[in-house]
Amino acid sequence: MAGLVLFAERVDWHSRSLLAAIKARGHTARVISLKACGFAVGETAHGLLLPGFADDLPDACFVRSVPAGTLEQVTARLGVLHALREMGVRVMNDARAIERCVDKSATTFLLARAGLPTPRTLVLEDRAAAQMIIDAAPGDSVLKPMFGAQGRGLMRLAPKARLPEAEEVGGVYYLQDFVSAPSGTGPSGTHEDFRVFVVGGQAEAAMARRGTSWITNIHQGATGVEVAAEGQLADLAVRAAAAVGASYAGVDLIADSEGRLTVLEVNSMPAWRGLHDATGRNMAEPLAAHLVAEPVAA
């Protein structure tokens, strides 16, 4: 293979790790920003503008990030990924999986449709109707931003709590039942959930994320502790990634008050530095192997 692409905005620790893992397998990849790509119908043989490729197409692409922008800019960037897939280029992850995971309501719908346990979820635009749901809720609810990440913007609301105005939530109220974990979850009563990293239909590594807050994201101060990526934890994570069509994913799960696992979210462009710190395993290895379609050594 001579034409691998890493779509990224900067060469950070993740990008360097992936580039090194690809090189170790005898291949090279060039880093390209999706901002620099576009359509060139009638100008190139394939109708795309891909810096450094002219009339050729990449053999495979890895999407580390899709840069933020206007609706028009993001649509055009995803359009390039859609086009690559339509022309038979392997894309990890492709635009369909990214769109499904960025939109948390679509993720939840697909998880439930696949028969996976996930919290009761209601997504609606009318604030009065959303307030009625909160007022009648049997327990706490979580209000999530539709396009949020890294634990930012989450609100835990008690029954009858006042909802923020529509403009504060982008005009959409995404509400989920708060999952009450078993009493004293984790050491010294810390809060705990799980992150499982899935690559090519296999759970490669997992960690428990423990912190003093119910928001257990590593970026919010939680600590990662290695756990076995096996059993029901692995099975649910693999099925969740498949439900959204992701070649690789970071799947978040939590145990409820009865100890039953439920899937919270699926991230289609997950970071893995925290997982590396917790487990000693660099997910760049299985990611590179899957990208070039080579088996991972046992």
- How much of the chain, in percent, has pLDDT values that exceed 90? 67
The answer to whether 4-92 and 120-177 have equal CATH topology is no
Q: pLDDT (tens digit, 9 = 90+) per residue, 191-208?
A: 889 999 999 999 999 999
* pLDDT tens per residue across span 25-60: 999 899 999 999 999 999 999 999 999 999 999 999
Q: Give the span between the Cα atoms of 193 and 142, in whole angstroms.
A: 15
* Residues facing 176 on adjacent strands: 121, 142
- pLDDT attached to residue 185: 47
Give exposure, 247-283, as e/b (b: 16+ Cβ within 10 Å): bbbbbbbbbeeeeebbbbbbbbbbbbebbbebbebbb
Beta bridge partners of 199: 202, 248
Q: Domain 187-291 falls in which CATH fold? A: D-amino Acid Aminotransferase; Chain A, domain 1 (3.30.470)
Tens digits of per-residue pLDDT, 240-249? Answer: 999 999 999 9
Domain ranges (residues) in the chain: 4-92, 120-177, 187-291
DSSP string, 102-120: HSHHHHHHHHHHTT-----
Alpha-carbon distance 81 to 70, whole Å?
17
Please, how many CA atoms are within 13 Å of residue 203, restricted to the half-sphere of its CB? Answer: 22
The predicted pLDDT at position 184 comes to 47
Q: What is the pLDDT of residue 115?
A: 97
Amino acid letter for position 121: T
Report CA Rg, the chain. Answer: 20
Residue 264 confidence (pLDDT):
93
**pLDDT by residue, tens only, the chain of 298 residues:** 448 999 999 999 999 999 999 999 999 899 999 999 999 999 999 999 999 999 999 999 999 999 999 999 999 999 999 999 999 999 999 999 999 999 888 999 999 999 999 998 989 999 999 999 898 888 888 898 866 555 567 888 888 899 999 888 889 999 989 887 655 444 455 788 999 999 999 999 999 988 776 666 666 667 889 999 999 999 999 999 999 999 999 999 999 878 899 999 999 999 999 999 999 999 999 999 999 986 554 4
CATH code reported for the domain at 120-177: 3.30.1490.20
Q: What is the dihedral of CA 31, 247, 267, 38, to 10 degrees?
A: 40
For 4-92, CATH number out of 3.40.50.300, 1.10.3720.10, 1.20.58.1000, 3.40.50.20 equals 3.40.50.20
Contact present, 59 and 288 (Cβ < 8 Å): no
**pLDDT of 194:** 94
For the chain, the average pLDDT equals 89
Give the per-residue pLDDT at 179: 86
Least Cα distance to 62 among 289, 295, 298, 272 occurs for 289
Residue of 166, 281, 149 whose CA lies nearest to 218 = 149
**Among the residues of the chain, which ranges form H helices?**
13-24, 71-86, 95-102, 104-113, 127-136, 231-244, 273-279, 284-291
**DSSP tag of 44:** B
How big is the chain, counted in residues? Answer: 298
pLDDT of residue 235: 98
Q: State the pLDDT at residue 170.
A: 87
